[in-house]
Structure 1
Amino acid sequence: MTTEHTTDLTGEVVDSLERTADARLRELLTALARHLHDFVRETEPTMAEWERAIGFLTATGQMCTDTRQEFILLSDVLGVSMLVETINGHREPGATESTVLGPFHMTESPVRALGANIDLMGTGEPCVVSGRVLAPDGTPLPGAVLDVWQADPEGFYDVQRPDVQPAGNGRGLFTADADGHFWFRSCVPSPYPIPTDGPVGKLLKATDRHPYRPAHIHFIASADGHAPVTTHIFVAGSRYLDSDAVFAVKDSLVQDFAETDDPSLAREFGVPNPFRYARFDLVLEPV
């Protein structure tokens, strides 16, 4: 049963934060203390449950490395990452919607020329991805930068299997041309499970949730004078579009990777015919 002392304790903690010089930090910590104390009063965890929670968070931190961020993964599967993106994602009509960063943007993408192939293994179904980077009024944004990364056909990023994939596989940093146009070659992405060998995987198992994400390619697009956008392009028809483990699918981000049977276009792109072709624009709002 809740005691009077626990109610007074919340006030004492909040009062202890009053001298915090940074007003925003004071606001955040005050709200955190109040909500956290309310959670404890509502659920009344036992000491064993509290210790288990501390152990879970400790294990989550211990799982983090230079190439893996388990806390981001935890934030993703609890829907917090998507909620933060949604709160901060108020954009002009027509601007590309944002979605989660994900836990594998942990290494710098290699600079590549337009048209380069980011599928260094050559094991997937070939595809071409192209489009333009535009302002909401349709004005092209020359020199826009696109950071691109994706998993291999087996569902792994290069940092997950450095003994199998060369560094930078599935990654590229591209600069749009004078018309804001970009294009690159790759392989068609496939659905894959998020890592389940850590605390987050145990959480999913305990809650009877699957770990899968629909097929997608990550983008961060940026241009001078415009707000950058962190987003995905999801493959239309992919499994798990309606049950993404990290709640990141938005209808506007689902794109066709259509099979294209055009020998001349295949020769122009330098891919075997037929091939899969995804064409879309990334629209950045001005700042």
Structure 2
Amino acid sequence: MGKDVDQRLATIMAGLVKHLHQFAREVELTQSEWEYAIGFLTKTGQICSAERQEFILLSDTLGVSMLVDAINNRRPEGATENTVFGPFHVEGAPVRQMGEQICLDGKGESCLFTGRVIDLDGKPIEGAHIDVWSDNAEGYYDVQQPDIQPRWNNRGVFITGADGLYSFVGIKPVSYPIPDDGPVGKMLAHLGRHPYRPAHMHYMIRAKGFQKLVTHTFVGGDEYLTSDAVFGVKKTLIAPFVRVEGGETLWRSDFDFVLAPAENLAGG
């Protein structure tokens, strides 16, 4: 490398080359295996589009996404934990009123999601932007079915008031397979792994003076909690989903989000 190369770039590239060479030596990589790997990466890039990011799926299913997340989101005790971002977030979801319905296709078992956004001392956080998204009752996100689902189906942004409370009506999420019709799906099949994610609701919460939180709440009792294809489950994020008798929704899920102050951000 040149003497004027950015030092961080030099560190990353030196480590990458060192470990790639060590890997090749350790497994005694054959010429045909190397060619297969190049072909695999080529196909992974070719299937990517504005709606599909196969490299994120590859990173997720190899556990790299969660490792990078853990390195960069070491939070103080009591703060809600991060988990994998996933490939299906869309910027620009509409801001909705508290308590509003986000399910636009009328399918699925209705669920009231509610709770508070608070700081480490339990004080409510005003002005927190809560960006939420989930799959539909058939296990697909709206961007996967643009000609079938309404735009912004099961998506919305909610802004907390002085009490820090949030509430919205969606559906009880269902478990679903990550897209497995491409190179990543073939890799999982060869490894004897299933492509399923346990049922979850996505949250991205941003508030002035606090760390951004990217997380899920998982449906307790889901059969894939211990074998999530992208290793995203954390015990603290498994939420109660309680059946409601005679209510306006069939289910209710209460979960408080605890944000850490921005100055507590710890990286690797």
How would you bin the TM-score normalised by the shorter chain? Answer: over 0.9
1:105-128 deviation line (CA, Å, top 9, x unaligned): 145322212111111111100100
Matches within 5 A, 1:11-50: 17-50=1-34
Q: Which segment is superposed worse, 17-26 or 206-215? A: 17-26
Aligned to 1:115, which of 91, 94, 99?
99
Aligned to 1:201, which of 185, 200, 213?
185
Residue type of the alignment partner of 1:278: S
The structural deviation recorded for 1:89 is: 2.0
Q: Which segment is superposed worse, 203-212 or 60-69? A: 60-69
Q: For residue 265 of structure 2, what is the aligned residue in structure 1?
A: none
Aligned to 1:278, which of 247, 253, 265?
253
Q: Secondary structure at the match of 1:159?
A: helix
1:174-200 deviation line (CA, Å, top 9, x unaligned): 111221111100010011111101110
TM-score (norm 2): 0.95
Q: For residue 225 of structure 2, what is the aligned residue in structure 1?
A: 241
1:154 and 2:144 correspond: no
Q: Secondary structure at the match of 2:143?
A: coil
List runs of 5+ in structure 2 lacking aligned partners.
263-268
Residue type of the alignment partner of 2:85: L
TM-score (norm 1): 0.89
Q: For residue 266 of structure 2, what is the aligned residue in structure 1?
A: none
Aligned to 1:178, which of 151, 162, 165?
162
Bigger relative CO (Cα 8 Å, ≥ 6 apart): 2
Matches within 5 A, 1:118-129: 118-129=102-113
Whether the 8 Å contact between 1:118 and 1:171 is mirrored in structure 2 is yes
Q: For residue 208 of structure 2, what is the aligned residue in structure 1?
A: 224
Whether the 8 Å contact between 1:59 and 1:199 is mirrored in structure 2 is yes
Residue type of the alignment partner of 1:282: F
The structural deviation recorded for 1:59 is: 0.9
Aligned equivalents of 1:157 and 1:217: distance in 2?
12
CA distance 1:284–1:60, shift in 2 (3 Å) = same
Which consecutive aligned stretches of 4+ in structure 1 deviate over 6 angstroms post-superposition?
Answer: none
RMSD of aligned C-alpha atoms? 1.2
Matches within 5 A, 1:71-150: 71-150=55-134
The structural deviation recorded for 1:44 is: 2.4
Residue type of the alignment partner of 1:277: R
Whether the 8 Å contact between 1:127 and 1:187 is mirrored in structure 2 is yes
Aligned equivalents of 1:122 and 1:240: distance in 2?
26
Residue type of the alignment partner of 2:254: R
Bigger radius of gyration, 1 or 2? 1
